Amino acid sequence: MLGVPETSSGSVLLDRLRAEKAQGIKGGIYYRLQIDLTYSSNRIEGSRLSEEQTRLIFETRTLDASGGPVRVDDVVETSNHFRAVDAVIDHAGEPLDQEALKRLHGLLKAATADAGKEWFAVGAYKRVPNEAGGQTTTAPEDVDDEIATILIGYEPERPHTLEEIVDMHVRFERIHPCQDGNGRVGRLVMLRECLASDVVPFVITDDMKAFYYRGLREWDSHPGFLLETCRAAQDRFMQYLDYFRIPYAGGAYRVQRPLDVQRRPHDRG
């Protein structure tokens, strides 16, 4: 360990993330997680920032705009997402509740253009009905009860399997409780729960987007579609754990091997 006490719950990875975050260590797993998750999760939702621009914002709080105009909200939400990942790391292992969900949304959408809209609720549930991928979602007046039902069934006080974490994510996305940012909040919650339950986390990258959305749509009839996408993403993340020599559930790290995260996400062989 790097000088911080081990957590009473969670994983070696969570301890390492907290240590690297506290000590400002660059080039480690905390650095890699922040850049990969922030770039990929925002990219899926339409951000135009490149991975290099994302890295610069994280490392130096500067931006190279030589490639053309940059949307202000892309920059703001990238910076906000870094803070949200920090909150996930800080609070992983605490029981998941509605305030935690709202807090993540508040971090993500603070100081954005949406925050200036009278009808847009930052750090709160939606006020106006919305859709998700052309599908209807829970009415605003029913969101509190629907989220409460999910959390009761999820039993947030105990560790969870990958399947349970993904199932909760699907239910959250179908409710679409916030006005915007639900996908990113939902993926942050999956990270938090993976860290708390010693499940290898994963990053849904842009090249996995179609498989991810298909898995969300067809969860009830074919849960394997989404689970295999998440497991393929876990395979990628295990390469980082191996490289940084971080043990994980299912076995200790393997001997360092070259990082190869470019193979197709749905090809696990």
pLDDT digits (tens, 9 = 90+) for 155-175: 999 999 999 999 999 999 999
| Residue 148 to residue 155: CA distance in whole angstroms | 11
Annotated binding site for ATP: 180-187, 212-213
User: Within a domain: residue 142?
Assistant: yes
User: Within a domain: residue 269?
Assistant: no
Is residue 176 annotated as part of the catalytic site, yes or no? yes
Q: Which amino acid is at 41?
A: S
Give the mean model confidence (pLDDT) for residues 121-125. Answer: 98
Whether the CB-CB separation of 224 and 255 falls below 8 Å is answered with: no
User: Within a domain: residue 3?
Assistant: no
pLDDT of residue 267: 40
pLDDT band for position 135 (cuts 50, 70, 90): very high
User: Within a domain: residue 63?
Assistant: yes
Which neighbouring-strand residues pair with 248? 251
For the entire predicted model, the pTM comes to: 0.90
Structure tokens that stand for 254 in this block: 């393997």
Which one of 105, 176, 222, 266 is the catalytic residue? 176
Give the mean model confidence (pLDDT) for residues 118-147. Answer: 97
User: Within a domain: residue 252?
Assistant: no
Whether the CB-CB separation of 227 and 131 falls below 8 Å is answered with: no
CA distances from residue 212 to 43, 135, 166 in whole angstroms, order as listed: 14, 16, 11
Annotated binding site: 180-187, 212-213
H helices present in the chain, as ranges: 12-23, 29-44, 51-60, 72-91, 98-109, 143-154, 162-175, 182-197, 209-217, 223-243
User: Within a domain: residue 264?
Assistant: no
Asked whether residue 88 carries a pLDDT value surpassing 90, the answer given is yes
| CATH code for the domain in which residue 66 is found | 1.10.3290.10
Structure tokens that stand for 222 in this block: 């074919």
| Residue 230 to residue 1: CA distance in whole angstroms | 28
The closest of 248, 246, 174, 190 to 2, measured between CA atoms, is 246
Provide the number of structural domains found in the chain: 1
User: Within a domain: residue 232?
Assistant: yes
Structure tokens that stand for 215 in this block: 């898995």
User: Within a domain: residue 26?
Assistant: yes
pLDDT band for position 3 (cuts 50, 70, 90): very low
Query: Helix (H, G, I), strand (E, B), or coil: what is residue 170?
Result: helix
Domain limits at 68? Answer: 12-113+120-243
pLDDT of residue 2: 52
